[in-house]
Structure 1
Amino acid sequence: MSFAELQVCAVEAADAAGGVCVVRCIGGVARAGQVYAVGELRIGLRRIERYGRAVGFFDAGHVAKVHLTGSVVALLARGQVLTYVPPDGHALAELEAWLATGPPLLEEPHPEQLRSLATSRMQDGELPDGVRLRWGRVALAALDRADRPEERPYVRSYLLRCFGPGGDGDPDRDPAALCRDVLALFELTPEQAAEQAPGWRDLPRPAILRLRRIKNLLLCTEPARPYLAATDPLAVAVDAWAAVRPGLP
């Protein structure tokens, strides 16, 4: 079961106690009594109305008028998404255990929602470094579940840039492994990319996107390169690509 999500269509009334909004359910099932998150703030879903009468729930694809509690209602804007928070929320340790062994959760997070949550926690400078690292691993696990391996280098690069290589043999912060994995994604050699770069505007769209993807992924190697010895063949390969990158679209 995925988390319920509500997208704000309009705020009809709001004061210090809460307000009334028209929302569309864009995921899961919204039920009266649930609690929703807006960043770190919480909103209570007190009442749901559809076609002029109170209902207990409504699901994805449908619109309803909802009565919400919480002063933050006055700050809501059209298009903003509210995400259901299960009772007591999912603690980091609970999510880690679920990802590792698959024990049942009251509400199973959708991989995309989990990725978004974990990424924001990973980047939260107010959290201890150790907790941010754990959220980074959750983000990587969520990408695996969402079948989005092409985004893993960006998370690994962020962890390496912020926290350095893993002294405990953490493969997600191994500079050499990150560089190898990034370069393995390229279908071209640096020489081939350099040959195509000057006339990239005349290339077919798939070829342009391929060059642009390479340019973006090369950024992931930047925090890793200082940890490679200058004579390391991997460093030589990264440097060859770095020389080509400025000319890519």
Structure 2
Amino acid sequence: MDNNPGGELQIYSVEATDAATATCIVRCVGGVVRTGQQFKTRPTADTTGNPVLLSLNWIKRYEKAMDFLDPPHSAMIQLSGNGLNSLKRGVILVSVTMGEP
């Protein structure tokens, strides 16, 4: 297991959303992703505005709760935070450390 605290997720699909959460299918494309981490959207040419800040509530693989996800594995996750409506296929989420903007 990688000891790097950072990680990157790529959204494959958004399965469900409500006012407070989004459930997505993702692939880990870098580092190790852990429950409780904070993420921001990676800016791209077709995105505008400030990055969205999200919290990773849980990770499930094959209906089993997991504490972490590493590349190249896929999983279902639940995110919470502002800007959930900006999540769509292909968006990359990058973990942030405490105090990082």
CA contact (8 A) 2:53 2:82 kept: no
CA RMSD of aligned residues (A): 1.6
The structure that has the greater radius of gyration is: 1
Match of 1:34 in 2: 37
What stretches of structure 1 move > 3 A for 4+ residues in a row?
none
- The residue that corresponds to 2:10 in the other structure is 7
3-state SS, counterpart of residue 79 of structure 1: coil
Q: How does 1:43-58 map to 2 (within 5 A)?
A: 43-58=54-69
What corresponds to 2:47 in structure 1? none
TM-score, normalised relative to structure 1: 0.34
Q: 2:91 aligns with which of 71, 80, 88?
A: 80
Tell me, in whole angstroms, the C-alpha distance in 2 between the residues paired with 1:74 and 1:15.
9
1:123-176 deviations in Å (ceiling 9; x for gaps): xxxxxxxxxxxxxxxxxxxxxxxxxxxxxxxxxxxxxxxxxxxxxxxxxxxxxx
What is the TM-score normalised by the length of structure 2? 0.82
**Matched letter for residue 24 of structure 2:** C
Higher percent of residues as strand = 2
CA deviations over 1:214-246 (Å, ceiling 9, x no partner): xxxxxxxxxxxxxxxxxxxxxxxxxxxxxxxxx
Q: If each structure's helix is expressed as a fraction of its own residues, which one has the higher value?
A: 1
Corresponding residue of 1:64 = 75
**Structure 1, unaligned stretches of length 5 or more?**
92-249
Name structure 2 gaps, 5 residues minimum: 42-49
